[in-house]
Amino acid sequence: MLNQTAALDLMFQALADPSRRSMVERLSRGPASVSELAKPLTMSLPAVVQHLQVLENSGLIRTEKIGRVRTCHIDWVAMKTAEQWMDERRKSWELRLDRLGDFLASEDNH
Amino acid sequence: MLNQTAALDLMFQALADPSRRSMVERLSRGPASVSELAKPLTMSLPAVVQHLQVLENSGLIRTEKIGRVRTCHIDWVAMKTAEQWMDERRKSWELRLDRLGDFLASEDNH
DNA sequence: AGTTTGGTTAAGCATATGCTTAAGTAAATC
DNA sequence: GATTTACTTAAGCATATGCTTAACCAAACT
């Protein structure tokens, strides 16, 4: 298993490409095959497969091959990890704002 | 102004590096100067500045130079854009789960 | 058995990224 | 005025990324 930092590297990196995000958007509406994911994109099939490998390697999606078709779906537990990182930053910020608010309120009492 | 897609590219790309995320973590606790951000990192100062440029270019942070010190802080509006993208995927997923739930419930009535 | 469909593997290539060192510049301190 | 501090700019370099085409494989159809 990778540590948290390396996992976040791979996830944010995976989400940093518009083609990969469009695949994730499609998959957030339910599972799809490789060629289904490739259809709206203007690149070659190997390119699509390479993008899928990046997504799968990041843990954001999982795939399963049955017969000759590979079905892809999002791993929501992994997706949550990325969301959580941003959540934590925001909490830290909100805490800071609260403390600033308290400070200003106490200043009013002088 | 950039379109939403290009903006997301830059933001996720910016967050895909552990040094840059550590800078954002530091800044989520309040503004800091360039050398303050550089202190915990093991790279040269120009390298730090290059990371800051990536962050600033993504819109996630803003900087202002007063005298000879440049002060950096997070732009929370931009940060929200990235959070929102993930939020929307999750909503789409939850909607799908709801519909699946409804379907299974209606199946029970047969 | 032959063809189509859905995907895979491999090689190559152009550009982007993440560093480095060396050499500035300009504000603040001595 | 000289030195230190806080960056800044530029050049160079190794590796990573995002594609491409060509060739292949094995399941499904006819």
Tokens of A55: 């997504």
Does residue A95 surpass a pLDDT of 60? Answer: yes
Any idea what the CATH number is for the domain that residue A93 is in?
Answer: 1.10.10.10
Helix (H, G, I), strand (E, B) or coil at B42: coil
Does residue A92 surpass a pLDDT of 90? Answer: no
Does residue B93 surpass a pLDDT of 60? Answer: yes
pLDDT digits (tens, 9 = 90+) for A71-90: 999 999 999 999 999 999 99
Interatomic CA–C1' length for residue A100 and nucleotide D15, angstroms: 45
Which of these ranges, A76-80, B14-18, B92-96, B104-108, has the smallest mean pLDDT? B104-108
Measured between alpha carbons, how far is A73 from A33 in angstroms, rounded to an integer?
A: 9
How many structural domains compose chain A? Answer: 1
Report the phi/psi class of residue A48: left, alpha or beta, with left for phi > 0 and alpha for psi in -120 to 50.
alpha
A65 touches strand C (CB under 7 A): yes
Number of A–B residue contacts, CB under 8 Å: 79
Interatomic CA–C1' length for residue B66 and nucleotide D15, angstroms: 37
Measured between alpha carbons, how far is B10 from B7 in angstroms, rounded to an integer?
A: 5
Measured between alpha carbons, how far is A58 from A9 in angstroms, rounded to an integer?
A: 8
How do strand B32-33 and strand A61-66 relate by DSSP bridges?
unpaired
| Dihedral, CA of residue A82, residue A85, residue A87 and residue A91, to nearest 10 | 180
Does any CB of chain A come closer than 8 Å to the CB of residue B7? no
The domain of B82 spans 4-108
